[in-house]
Amino acid sequence: MNPAIQAFVFDAYGTLFDPHSIRTLAEALFPGHGAALSQLWRTKQLEYSWVRTLMHRYEDFWSVTRDALTFSCHSLQLPCTEKQRDALLDAYLRLEAFPEVKHSLERLANRRLAILSNGSPRMLRAVVDSNGLTHAFERLLSVDELKLYKPHPAVYQQAADRLKVPKESIGFVSSNFWDVAGATSFGFQTFWLNRAELPADELGVTPTAALQTLADLLP
């Protein structure tokens, strides 16, 4: 039997905040290419974070996000001006929370809650504040302190250290299966937020539970 959960730790992008909520702006700037730009941008953003960790050449997530956008525009042959690039990057600071997030977090207000994210501290504070969630979390934990990206085990250890909670008593919630895999391997109790009802990746790990929305985390 798993020990009682003393704190819930949430991934940010894709879990609480929708990285594809920039599609509307992307479509307005590049008609007919908004969805493709959003998808490629997110894919390269993650890829760059993993590659940089493996190369020991850390850049913060703002730089990674900017470089992924630049590549995506070049790849899709979109003539992105500096003004358009800055507008898209600014939108990343104001990504929309998924519809059920605010109410679900309010119902968990009696629990210890934190975010553990690849996002830089400035990015996390901006997106949390813009969604009116400033007081929902005890801590906003960024990989920037370690100069390593998830799913490196040291990132998950950071959450246990900062919260002063045994890893077995942390419930980790993410929509990204690779992140759930890393957290499960580390020793967290894990909750895969599988909104799209995707098959699990073949990584030899099984989350504690799968959720369809964040509201399913509630008792």
Q: Which residue in this structure is represented by tokens 């419930």? A: 171
Cβ 132 vs Cβ 106: under 8 Å: no
Does 11 qualify as catalytic in the annotation? yes
Rounded CA gap, 89 and 211, in Å? 30
Both tokens assigned to 180: 């759930």
Burial class (CB in 10 A: 0-12, 13-18, 19+), 165: middle
> 67-91: b or e for each residue (b if 16 or more CB lie within 10 Å)?
ebbebbbeeeeeebeeebeebbeeb
Cβ within 8 Å of residue 101, ≥6 positions away: 16, 17, 131, 133, 214
Q: Which of 11, 60, 144, 179 is flagged as catalytic?
A: 11
Residues marked as catalytic: 11
